[in-house]
Amino acid sequence: MMTFRTLSPTLDRVFALNRELDRVMGAAAGNRGGSTQSWTLPLDVVERADDYVVSADLPGVSPEQVDISFEHNTLTVRGTRPWPFNTDGGELRVYSAERWTGAFERSVRLPEYVEGDRIEATFANGVLTVTVPKAAAAKPRKIAIQNGADSKESRQLNA
């Protein structure tokens, strides 16, 4: 069973801010009239018991065209999706071009309790999956309750 619920209200706000900044910065880059096209990579970010999983669809992109970095608890995925048609110097008539090509970059800020040195990435069937393990401090733990008469404080009070 899959449930859609928020990781936390704070993370939801961070992700919403990330999306809005990516949208605004992408529009600003497009308005400069530069020759490089930039687009926003859509991501899914889910939390499991032991890790966070970031997933992105990248059809037409090879793993060599993707760079993943992790710094200051920010996971960044960047790369380039090439134009799929070769003109070979001849004329190319485009009747419809709806798929994004060019450079992309997307960053996701994760909670501070992750193990950045154990991040793993896989690329299968055009889907990039990045697994970020949680640190032990972030995992829930059960705290044992001691009998009141046996506790250290109880023995000190009775002495």
The CATH number covering residue 50 comes to: 2.60.40.790
Cβ proximity of 14 and 109 under 8 Å = yes
Q: Which residue pairs, CB below 8 angstroms and at least 24 apart, start in 147-156?
A: none
For residue 159, is it within any domain? no
For residue 156, is it within any domain? no
Q: Give the pLDDT of residue 62.
A: 93
DSSP bridge pairs for 69: 76
For residue 151, is it within any domain? no
Q: Give the pLDDT of residue 58.
A: 94
Domain count, the chain: 1
CA distance 49 to 46: 10
Q: Give the pLDDT of residue 2.
A: 45
Residue ranges in the chain modelled with pLDDT below 70: 1-8, 11, 22-23, 25-38, 149-159
Q: Give the pLDDT of residue 156.
A: 64
Summarize pLDDT for 51-73 with one digit per residue, the tens: 999 999 999 899 999 999 999 99
- Domain coverage including residue 21: 9-138
Q: Give the pLDDT of residue 35.
A: 38
